[in-house]
Structure 1
Amino acid sequence: MARHRIYATSFASVYPHYVAKAERKGRTKQEVDEIIAWLTGYGPAELEAVLVAKTDFETFFAEAPKPNPARDKVTGVICGVRVEEVEEPTMREIRILDKLVDELARGKAMEKILRTA
């Protein structure tokens, strides 16, 4: 049952927490948006539409315009869970996004976060 609650949660309700986490550590909303764009392919207008529509996480990832194939390179532990070991696809996508925002908040360079370095 808990699994379904996170999927039904609107991305818009969690997005401000991603931004706040980044900003507390001196990073920016634009960097969070860049991470989301890299991961999903959502541009600024599409992301705004998702936020306004209060799209749930499952739909957010299922309808992502261009999921980045390099997202499989995101590994490590977030919330005590190894990202690469999460079997359920939507939960893996959520954990990848959590991990990327965590890396941003920890001061990692954007090139490394976006796996381009």
Structure 2
Amino acid sequence: MNTARIYHMLFSSVYPLYIQKAEKKGRSKTEVDTIICWLTGYDQVGLQHQIDQKATFETFFKEAPQIHPNTNKITGVICGYRVEDIEDDLVQKVRYLDKLIDELAKGKAMEKILRT
């Protein structure tokens, strides 16, 4: 897996794509934000700050208040890789987020997506 690109990719450039993917399937921006905040520990203000600052994924996750302790419950395949087997910490976090947004777009209930 080529991971170098992910480190420099802007979170703010991918964020609208997450929203677009969710809205195409009848889900909302609020649900996307809930997932991101659950995973990272950001509140809405902190999330917006990262977007406004055009943070890279590296910075976005490095400055995250607290990665949720239930991330070990996120399993499955995204982009051809099992998320639980990805060794690079940053890439794994990005793929966790991708997986959660995919689950949202596929109609999964928020309680299941948030592993509650």
- Please name the residue that 1:62 is paired with: 62
Deviation by residue 1:14-64 (Cα, 9 ceiling, x = unmatched): 000000000000000000000001000111100110000000001111110
State whether structure 2 residue 3 is matched by structure 1 residue 3: yes
What is the percentage of aligned positions where both structures have the same residue? 58
1:7 deviates by: 1.1
| Aligned CA-pair RMSD | 0.7
Where 1:34 maps in the other structure, the secondary structure is helix
Where 1:99 maps in the other structure, the secondary structure is helix
Give distance in 2, aligned partners of 1:108 and 1:66.
24
TM-score normalised by L of structure 1? 0.96
Read off the aligned partner of 1:76 and give its amino acid letter.
G
1:6 deviates by: 1.6
Give distance in 2, aligned partners of 1:75 and 1:5.
23
Alignment of 1:11-22 (within 5 A): 11-22=11-22
Read off the aligned partner of 1:49 and give its amino acid letter.
H
Number of positions where the alignment pairs a residue of Structure 1 with one of Structure 2: 115
- Please name the residue that 1:86 is paired with: 86
1:4 deviates by: 1.9
Give distance in 2, aligned partners of 1:72 and 1:31.
21
Q: Which runs of 5+ in 1 are unaligned?
A: none
Give distance in 2, aligned partners of 1:113 and 1:83.
15
TM-score normalised by L of structure 2? 0.97
Read off the aligned partner of 1:17 and give its amino acid letter.
L
Q: Which runs of 5+ in 2 are unaligned?
A: none
Runs of 4+ in 1 over 4 A off after TM superposition: none
